[in-house]
Amino acid sequence: MVTFIPFGERPNREGVLYVLNYLRRNKLLEEYMIVESSNIELLADRVPRDRAYIVGEHLASYGIVKSLRPPGLISVDAHTDLMHDYLDHGSWLAYALEEKIINRAAIVGPVLMIPTTERTELWTRRVKIFPALLRSRKIGRRWKAYKNLQTGSIGDIIAEARKYLGEEIYLTIDMDVLRPEYRIARFQHGELTLEQLIEILEEIKRNFTIIAFDISEISDRIRRSRLGKKALVEVFQLMGGG
């Protein structure tokens, strides 16, 4: 079964419901349910144990993992979501780590909100970051490059994540990790092509037992995006949705 969570502002809610109808219309969806809530804490109480979730605002992933309590998590996202001011779509992963809802996490593909110094005000404990582009961080008096998708192989990066996280993970795929032309999410997009995203997801599937996954940051922009609909369907089918 697939659980649809039209969580967030109106564009997110309408985007999730559009995707639901689009998948049904194209006979790509069988059993499904819709879970609605305007409150993240109430959402955590309402989320069923499912294999697949399609959600609006990425904050909904906090509610899902709070319900499922997976040991580890991989986030494929243009943002790290490690801000640490108040709980929202830009900080949900930091709070999930701080509250020990999950033990460890890895983030693959970010281009934004990446810690650069020891004083950067982002959560950095029990998480590994693998940026899309070459990025460095200052450790003491030296600068050290993150292992990244621009200069490293996807296989090596996912293998390192496997050593860090163990076998079982929850996987969250924020569709804003794709380049701007895919026009799925509302905010800044990332640097990945669909082909790169598919390669990353295939490598994750080979290396991990995925207890559940979500596809997040769906907005109503997708209804006017041919590339966005193609990307959504390919990711959904690869991950075994429907």
Cα distances from 203 to residues 53, 96, 135, in angstroms, run: 20, 25, 22
Separation CA 151–CA 77 (nearest Å):
18
pLDDT given for residue 242 in this prediction: 64
What pLDDT, on the 0 to 100 scale, is given for residue 85? 86
Q: What is the pLDDT of residue 180?
A: 94
pLDDT tens per residue, the chain (242 residues)? 999 999 999 999 999 999 999 999 999 998 999 999 989 989 999 999 999 999 999 999 999 999 999 999 999 999 999 998 899 999 999 999 999 999 999 999 999 999 998 888 999 999 999 999 999 998 888 999 999 999 999 999 999 999 999 999 999 999 999 999 999 988 789 999 999 999 999 999 999 999 999 999 999 999 999 999 999 999 999 998 76
- Burial of residue 182 (CB within 10 Å: 0-12, 13-18, 19+) is buried
Sequential DSSP letters for 161-204: HHHHH-SEEEEEEEGGGB-GGG--SSS---SB-HHHHHHHHHHH
CATH architecture for the domain at 2-238: 3-Layer(aba) Sandwich (3.40)
How many whole angstroms separate alpha carbon 130 and alpha carbon 137?
A: 12
Measured CA angle at 62 (ends 105, 37), to 5 deg? 165
Strand (E) or helix (H) holding 33:
strand 32-34
- The secondary structure of 55-84 as a DSSP string is ESSTTHHHHHHHHH--SEEEEE-SB---B-
Q: For residue 118, give the nearest of 97, 94, 144 by alpha carbon.
A: 144
What is residue 147's DSSP assignment?
Answer: P
pLDDT at position 106? 98
